[in-house]
Structure 1
Amino acid sequence: MTQEVTMDTVIRQRLKGLRLAKGWSLDALAARCYLSASTLSRIETGHRRIALDQLVPLAKALGTTLDQLVEPTADEDVVIRPEPEHQPGITTWLLSREHSHDGRAVAKMRITPERSLENRELSVHPGREWFTVLTGTVSLLLGERTILVHEGQAAEFSTMVPHRIGAHRGPVEILTIFDREGERAHLPGSHATALEQ
C-alpha cells in the first residue's frame, strides 16, 4: 500500500510539474484534456484518486506518454556505471542508457593520435552531432576543412558533411551527444560499424 501511495504522489507531482513547465493554468490544461479545472486541481492536490482513463488524455495533452508518467523512481534508474569500450586509438564510455526515450546517446571518448593513423575514412550519416572538448585539442575534419577545437570549446555540425574526429598532437577527451543515426554510426555495439568517424 505504501508503494501505491508513493507512486500516486509521484504521478501527481509529474502532472503538476509538466503543466507548470508549459506555463499553463488549470483552465488551459482542462481545455486540452476535456476534464474540468476543479477535477484537475483535486487530482494535483491528492483530493481525488487518479483513474487510468484520466491519465491517458492528460499524458497526451502534456506531450508525454503514460509510461513516462508512471515509470518507477528507484535509484537504479538514476546511476549509470559506464564500462569502457576499447578500440585502436579510442576508448568510449556510454554515459546514457541504451534505447533512451529521446533517441539521443551521450558518451565520453578518449582519442589518441594513433586513431588518425589507423582510420582515415570520413563518415557520413543523417543527423547532427555535438561535442565539447574536456582535455587536449580535437582535429575535426569536416568536408575539405580541418578545424581545431581546443579544450573548453564545443562544436556542432551536420553529419551529412563527411567528417572525422581525431586527436591533435596528443590525447584528447571529449563529451559528445549523438542523435539516433549518429549512435548507430559511431558507438560500439550499435547496428553500424563502430566509430567510423
Structure 2
Amino acid sequence: MRMTQEDGDLDGLVRKRIRALRVAQGWSLDELATRAKLSPSSLSRIENGQRRLALDQLVTLAKALDTSLDQLVETDTDDVIVSPMLDGAHGTMRWPIKAEPGMTVMRQRMTSPPPDNPASLRAHSGREWLVVLKGTAVLLLGNRRLRVETNQAAEFPTMLPHAIGTAGGPCEILGIFDREARRGHNADKKA
C-alpha cells in the first residue's frame, strides 16, 4: 500500500500530538513510556518518526494520555470558528462544542437572585460547568449557597437540586452542559 501526502500529514500530526500531550502533562519520555508499557526508546522513535505508528500502540498511548483514539487522529479542523445560536426568548447564546458530542456552551446575562423557595430548585441527570465572566453569581446546590465571583468557575452534578442567580446586580456567565444536562434544562423550560 502506497502512502499518500495526506497520510504523511496525518502521521506527522499524530506524532506531534503525542509529544505535545506528553509535554502538557509534564511527563518525561520515561514516564509516558511506563504508563503506555513501551520502552522509552520506542516512544522516542514514535515521536520522532523513526518508527511506524501501530494501531495497538496508538490505542495504548491514547489511554495513557487520557484521550481517545478518535481525538488523537482527528483531522477535521475546518470549522474552527463556531457562530452562536441566539435564543432571544431566554436571553441566551449557545455554542455547540465539537470535541464532545452533545456538549453546549451558553452565555447568559442574569439579573435576578436565585429563588428563595427550595421547591424551585431543579435536579436532572448530567453535569454542568459555570464560569462567571462578570459580576457575582449565586449557586444554590442542595442545601449550600455558594458565591461564584468573576473569573471563578464551578462544576457540579446536576442530580443535586440547583439554581443559579445573581448577587447584588447583574452578572454574565458561561454555562457548559453535557448532553444530559442540556436535555434536563430543555425539559425544565417546557414544564
**Same fold, TM exceeding 0.5?**
yes
Residue in 1 that maps onto 2:106: 107
Q: Secondary structure at the match of 1:75?
A: coil
Please give the alpha-carbon distance, in whole angstroms, between the structure 2 residues aligned to 1:61 and 1:79.
Answer: 30
How far has the Cα of 1:139 moved from its partner?
6.5
Query: Contact 2:125–2:184 at 8 Å: present in 1 too?
Result: no
Q: Closer, same or farther in 2 for the Cα pair 1:50/1:195, shift >3 Å?
A: farther
Q: Closer, same or farther in 2 for the Cα pair 1:34/1:194, shift >3 Å?
A: same
Q: 2:71 aligns with which of 58, 68, 72?
A: 68
Please give the alpha-carbon distance, in whole angstroms, between the structure 1 residues aligned to 2:161 and 2:63.
Answer: 39
Query: Contact 1:98–1:105 at 8 Å: present in 2 too?
Result: no
How far has the Cα of 1:36 moved from its partner?
2.7
Q: 2:45 aligns with which of 42, 45, 49?
A: 42
Q: Closer, same or farther in 2 for the Cα pair 1:173/1:51, shift >3 Å?
A: same
Give the CA RMSD over aligned residues: 3.8
Which amino acid in 2 is paired with 1:81?
Answer: S
Please give the alpha-carbon distance, in whole angstroms, between the structure 2 residues aligned to 1:32 and 1:146.
Answer: 41
Which amino acid in 2 is paired with 1:4?
Answer: D
Residue in 2 that maps onto 1:83: 85
How far has the Cα of 1:40 moved from its partner?
1.6
Which amino acid in 2 is paired with 1:108?
Answer: R
Q: Closer, same or farther in 2 for the Cα pair 1:171/1:33, shift >3 Å?
A: closer
How far has the Cα of 1:63 moved from its partner?
2.2
Q: Is structure 2 residue 187 aligned with structure 1 residue 184?
A: no
How far has the Cα of 1:93 moved from its partner?
1.7
TM-score where L is the length of structure 2: 0.69
Query: Contact 1:104–1:179 at 8 Å: present in 2 too?
Result: yes
Which amino acid in 1 is paired with 2:85?
Answer: E
Summarize the alignment of residues 104-143 of structure 1 with structure 2, pairs less than 5 Å apart.
Answer: 105-111=104-110, 121-126=120-125, 129-134=128-133
Please give the alpha-carbon distance, in whole angstroms, between the structure 1 residues aligned to 2:26 and 2:151.
Answer: 33
Please give the alpha-carbon distance, in whole angstroms, between the structure 1 residues aligned to 2:66 and 2:143.
Answer: 41
Query: Contact 1:138–1:148 at 8 Å: present in 2 too?
Result: yes
TM-score where L is the length of structure 1: 0.67
Q: Closer, same or farther in 2 for the Cα pair 1:29/1:149, shift >3 Å?
A: closer
Q: Is structure 2 residue 154 aligned with structure 1 residue 156?
A: yes
Instruction: Give unpaired runs (5+ residues) of structure 1.
Output: none
Instruction: Give unpaired runs (5+ residues) of structure 2.
Output: none
Q: Secondary structure at the match of 2:121?
A: coil
Please give the alpha-carbon distance, in whole angstroms, between the structure 2 residues aligned to 1:166 and 1:194.
Answer: 16
Which amino acid in 1 is paired with 2:154?
Answer: E
Aligned residue-pair number: 183
